[in-house]
Structure 1
C-alpha cells in the first residue's frame, strides 16, 4: 500500500502524484511511441480511431462529466470541425491554420448551444442540444457549395509545414501529439479555479452560486471548450476517413459518444480513453462474432446497437462508475485486502437538500 503525506496545496494539485505514477505513464508513453513498430497497419489504424474518439470523449467529459451539462447533439460539433477543415484545406489553407479555425468555429457553435443552458437544465437542455444537432445536420445537407450535400466531400492528406503526412505512421504520431496536448489541457484546466468551478456547478448549482460562481459564465465556457475539443477531433477525423458525409454525424453518433463516456467512467479523465478503447474493440468483436452466429441473428441490421444498448443498461445497473470505476475498485481491493469494505464506493445522491425544494 502506498501512503501519500501531503504538506501543502501544491502537492494536492500536482499532475504526477508519486514516482509509481510517473513510471507507469512513462512506460505507456514509450509503448505508444513504439506502436508503429509493434503493430500492423490495420491495428495502428484502429489505435488512431481510439485516440480520435478519446479526444471527443474528453470534450464531452468536460461538459457532462465535470460540469453536469447534458449534451446529446455532440456529433454536430464534430461535424463543424470536420467540414471546416475539409473546406479550408480545399481553399489551400495550411493545416495549422485550418485546425485552429475548426476549433474556433466549433467553440462559437458551442457558445450558441450553451445559451439555452443558462435557463434550462436536465431533459430540457438535452432537447436543446438535440435540436441543434438536427439543425447542423440539415444545414450540412443544404449547403452543397461548401459541404457537398448528400454527395459528401473528399478530404486530402495533411501537409504540416511542408512535410506530407502520407503514411499511417506519420498520421498516427500527429493524432497522438494532439491527443496528448488535449489531455494535458483538460488536466490542467481541472486543477485550475475554472475547473473547480465546473465541478462545483455539477455538484450543486445553488451552492456554487452562493459561493460567488457565475453560473452563466462557466456554463458557456464549458460548452465552448467542449465544442472546441470536438472540433479538433473532427478535423483529424475528416483526414482519417478521407471522405465525409452527413450520415457520419447523425443523432445516433451523438448517442454513441455519450455511451462511450458512460461506459468508460463518467467524471473521470481516464474514462474517455477506457470508453473509446472499449467502443472500438467491441465493434471489431461484434463483426467477428457475426460469422459464428445463426444467420437470423448475425445478419440483422440492428445487431450492433442492440448489443451496445444491453451493455449500457448493464453498466448503469451494475457498474455506474464505468470501466475506470471498476479498475479503481479492483486496485483499492488489492491495496486494502483484507480490510476492503464493499460500501466504500456506494453511490451518493449528488444534489443537496436545498435543490429538492425547487
Structure 2
C-alpha cells in the first residue's frame, strides 16, 4: 500500500502524484503506440472509435460528473461539430482550423443551451436539453442544401502534411493524440480555480455562491466547454464514419452518452474512459454471444438497449460509482489485504462528494 507524505501545498495539484503513476501511465501510452503492430484493422478501427467517444465523454463528465448539470441532448453538440467539420472539409479548409471552428461553434451553441440551466435544474434541465436535441435533429433534416438532409452527407478524408488520414493506423494515432490532449486539458482544468468552482456548484450551489462563485457564469462556462469537447469529438466522428445523416444523432444517442458516463463512473476522468470502452465493447460482446443464445432472443431487435438498460439498473443499485468504483474496491482489497473491511466504501453511496476526487 502506498503512502504519500505531502510537505508542500503544490503537491495537491501536481499532475503526477507519485512515481507509480508515471510508470503505469507511461507504460499504457507505450502500449497504445505499439498496438497497431499487433492489432487487426477492424480492432484498430474500434479502438479509434473508443478514443472519439472518450473525448466526448470528457465533456459530458465535466458537465454531469463535476458540475452536476444533466444533459439529455449531448448528441446535438456532437452533430453541430460533425456537420460543421464536414461542410468546412468539403470547402477545402485545413483540418486543424475546421476542427477548431467546429469546437467553437459547438461551444457557442452550448452557451445558448446553458442559459436554461440558470433557472431550472435536475429533471427539468434534462427535459430542456432533450427538446434542444430534437430541434437540432429536425434542423439538420430540413437544411438539405447544407447538410444533405435525410439523404446524408459524404465527408472527405483528412489530409495533413501530405498524408491521408482516412482510416487505419494514421487515423488511429490522430484519434489517440486528441484523446490524450483532451485528458490533459480536463485534468488541468479541474486543478484550476475554475474546476474547483464546478465541483463546488455540484456539491452545493448555496455553499458555492456564499464563497463567491458566480453560478450563472460557471454553469454557462461548463456547458460551453462540455459542448466544445463534444464538437471536436463529433468532427473526428465525421471523418471516421465518412458519412453523416440525422439518424446518427438522435435522442437515443444522447441517452446512450449519458448512460456511458454513469456506467463508467460519475465524477472521475477514469470513468469517462471506462464508459467509452463499455459503450463500444457492449455491441461487440452481444454479437459474439448471439450464436450461443436461443434464436428468438438472438434475433430480437431490442436486445442491445435491453442489456444496456439492465446494466445501468444494476450499476445504480449495487455500484453507484460505476466501473471505476468497482475498480477502486478491487484495488483496495489487494492493497489492504488482509485488513480489508466489507463496509469501508459504504459512505461512497452518498451520491457525489468532493472526497471522490482524491
TM-score, normalising length: structure 2? 0.96
Are 1:308 and 2:321 matched, yes or no? Answer: no
Partner of 1:160: 160
Are 1:3 and 2:3 matched, yes or no? Answer: yes
Q: Distance in 2 between matches of 1:348 and 1:260?
A: 19
Shift of 1:351: 9.0
Partner of 1:42: 42
Shift of 1:21: 0.8
Shift of 1:221: 0.5
Q: Distance in 1 between matches of 2:252 and 2:20?
A: 40
Q: Distance in 1 between matches of 2:167 and 2:206?
A: 52
Asked if the contact 1:204–1:351 (Cα under 8 Å) also holds between the matched residues in 2, the reply is no
Partner of 2:13: 13
Asked if the contact 2:320–2:351 (Cα under 8 Å) also holds between the matched residues in 1, the reply is no
Q: Distance in 2 between matches of 1:304 and 1:167?
A: 27
Give a deviation string over 1:287-316, Cα, whole Å, max 9, x none: 122222222111111111001110110111
Partner of 2:345: 345
Asked if the contact 1:96–1:160 (Cα under 8 Å) also holds between the matched residues in 2, the reply is no
Q: Distance in 2 between matches of 1:319 and 1:58?
A: 21
Partner of 1:356: none
SS in 2 for 1:15: coil
List gaps (5 residues or longer) in structure 1: 353-358
Asked if the contact 1:94–1:161 (Cα under 8 Å) also holds between the matched residues in 2, the reply is no
Partner of 2:104: 104
Asked if the contact 2:167–2:240 (Cα under 8 Å) also holds between the matched residues in 1, the reply is no
Partner of 2:216: 216
Partner of 2:33: 33
Partner of 2:325: 325
Q: Distance in 1 between matches of 2:22 and 2:237?
A: 30
Give a deviation string over 1:243-269, Cα, whole Å, max 9, x none: 010010000000111111111111100
Shift of 1:167: 4.3
Asked if the contact 1:85–1:102 (Cα under 8 Å) also holds between the matched residues in 2, the reply is yes
How large is the Cα RMSD of the aligned pairs? 1.3
Q: Distance in 1 between matches of 2:333 and 2:286?
A: 32
Q: Distance in 2 between matches of 1:39 and 1:140?
A: 36
TM-score, normalising length: structure 1? 0.96
List gaps (5 residues or longer) in structure 2: 354-358
Asked if the contact 2:77–2:110 (Cα under 8 Å) also holds between the matched residues in 1, the reply is yes
Shift of 1:350: 5.3
SS in 2 for 1:86: helix
Listed as ranges, the matches of 1:117-266 within 5 Å are 117-266=117-266
Shift of 1:158: 0.1
Asked if the contact 2:103–2:229 (Cα under 8 Å) also holds between the matched residues in 1, the reply is yes
SS in 2 for 1:159: strand
Asked if the contact 1:72–1:258 (Cα under 8 Å) also holds between the matched residues in 2, the reply is yes
Asked if the contact 1:203–1:350 (Cα under 8 Å) also holds between the matched residues in 2, the reply is no
Asked if the contact 2:80–2:105 (Cα under 8 Å) also holds between the matched residues in 1, the reply is yes
Asked if the contact 2:66–2:267 (Cα under 8 Å) also holds between the matched residues in 1, the reply is yes
Q: Distance in 1 between matches of 2:166 and 2:332?
A: 45
SS in 1 for 2:58: helix
Give a deviation string over 1:101-136, Cα, whole Å, max 9, x none: 100100001001100001110011001100110010
Change (3 A) 1:297 1:320: same
Shift of 1:348: 5.1
Asked if the contact 2:45–2:167 (Cα under 8 Å) also holds between the matched residues in 1, the reply is no
Shift of 1:282: 1.4
Q: Distance in 1 between matches of 2:352 and 2:285?
A: 39
Give a deviation string over 1:177-231, Cα, whole Å, max 9, x none: 1111111000000000000000000000000000000000000000000000000
